[in-house]
Amino acid sequence: MSKIVTFVGRKGELAALNDLLYKKTASLVVVKGRRRIGKSRLITQFANGKKLFSFSGLPPEKKITAQMQRDEFSKQLGLQSHLPNIKANDWIYLFY
């Protein structure tokens, strides 16, 4: 038996995301907050039926360098976009 899951609340957040989707210029949206408050569920609900690139960053720990974060972003971008392996030493190039 499958469980029916409904999405409750977050109308304001969904409206803000939809406003960004339909504006005439590009936007980068970062969703952040405490653990277990529904960030991933909000994005999943918003992305339903849309093309989505979703990235999860490496946690800010002493052993994690800025280059490691860029490399992880590059890897995720390549997997989702089917682009060849991208290497960059700065974020500007990666976003370009």
Cα separation, 54 vs 80, in Å, equals 8
Cα separation, 31 vs 43, in Å, equals 8
Question: Does the pLDDT of residue 1 top 70, yes or no?
Answer: no
Q: Is the whole-model pTM more than 0.75?
A: no
The domain of 60 spans 53-96
User: Are residue 41 and residue 58 in the same domain, yes or no?
Assistant: no
- For residues 78 and 84, the answer to whether their CB atoms sit within 8 Å is yes
User: Are residue 4 and residue 44 in the same domain, yes or no?
Assistant: yes
Average pLDDT, the chain: 88
The pLDDT of residue 33 is 87
Domain count, the chain: 2
Give a three-class secondary structure readout of 10-67.
Answer: CHHHHHHHHHHHCCCCCCCCCCCCCCCCCHHHHHHHHHCCCCCCCCCCCCCCCCCCHH
The pLDDT of residue 2 is 65
pLDDT, one tens digit per residue, over 9-51 is: 889 999 999 999 999 998 888 888 888 889 989 999 999 999 8
pLDDT, one tens digit per residue, over 66-89 is: 999 999 999 999 999 998 888 889
The pLDDT of residue 90 is 92
Residues written for the chain: 96
Task: Give, in order, the Cα–Cα distances in Å from 6 to each of 3, 36, 52, 63, 81.
Answer: 10, 17, 21, 40, 30
User: Are residue 28 and residue 60 in the same domain, yes or no?
Assistant: no
The pLDDT of residue 21 is 92
